[in-house]
Structure formats: structure tokens, C-alpha cells
Homo-oligomer: A and B are copies of this chain.
């Protein structure tokens, strides 16, 4: 499934409600899901972990839709040619992201 197809799928399921709620309220839900992912990452339940990753991706996607960002285009623009800072794959930035 492409990133764009996933974004469309989440729009079809949730966009009407998410739009009615608005960006700030939706961001709050997104962060709540990030918290659930943090909890899952401390455990060993692989199924729960997978589910929480899916949720964070879904809420990130719907946030992008709310502000008119195409997640796939954003991802390709920034990362398709390697590290956006050093331009290399693998990244060879010095001292970055310790």
C-alpha cells in the first residue's frame, strides 16, 4: 500500500469527523496515541505494538489531510535521495543525531 493510498483510506474512514473536530483537537488525539505507543514500546506484546504503530500512522495521516499536506509527497521530497542534510545513504553527518 502506498503512503498516499493509506492517507486516502484514513480520509474515507475518518475525515468528516476529523474535520469537524479540527486540527488542534486532532493533534491532541495524535499525541494520546503517541503516549500509547510509548507504553507499548515498554512491553513485549508484538500485536499491541503493531496496532499502536498503525494508530500513530493513522493519526499522523489525518493531521496531514487536515492541513492539506500529502504525506507521500512530503516523505519522497525529503528522503528519497538519502539523508536531507549530507545527501548520502547511509547518512554520514558528523555528530548528528547522537
Tell me the A residues contacting B by CB distance below 8 Å: 1-3, 6, 9-10, 12-17, 21, 23, 27, 29, 31, 34, 37-38, 41, 46, 49-51, 53-58, 60, 63-64, 67-80, 82-83, 88-91, 97-98
| Copies of the chain in the assembly | 2
Which B residue's beta carbon lies closest to that of A9?
B79
- Nearest CB in chain B to that of A31: its residue: B34
Q: Which of B15, B41, B67 contacts A49 (CB 8 A)?
A: B67
Given A38-B27, A53-B60, A75:B14 Cβ within 8 A: no
Chain A residues touching B, majority SS? helix
Residue contacts A-B, CB under 8 angstroms, 29 given: A1-B3, A2-B2, A3-B3, A6-B75, A6-B79, A9-B80, A10-B79, A13-B88, A13-B89, A14-B90, A14-B91, A17-B90, A31-B34, A34-B34, A46-B68, A50-B69, A50-B73, A50-B74, A50-B77, A53-B64, A53-B69, A53-B71, A53-B74, A53-B75, A54-B74, A54-B78, A54-B79, A55-B78, A57-B75
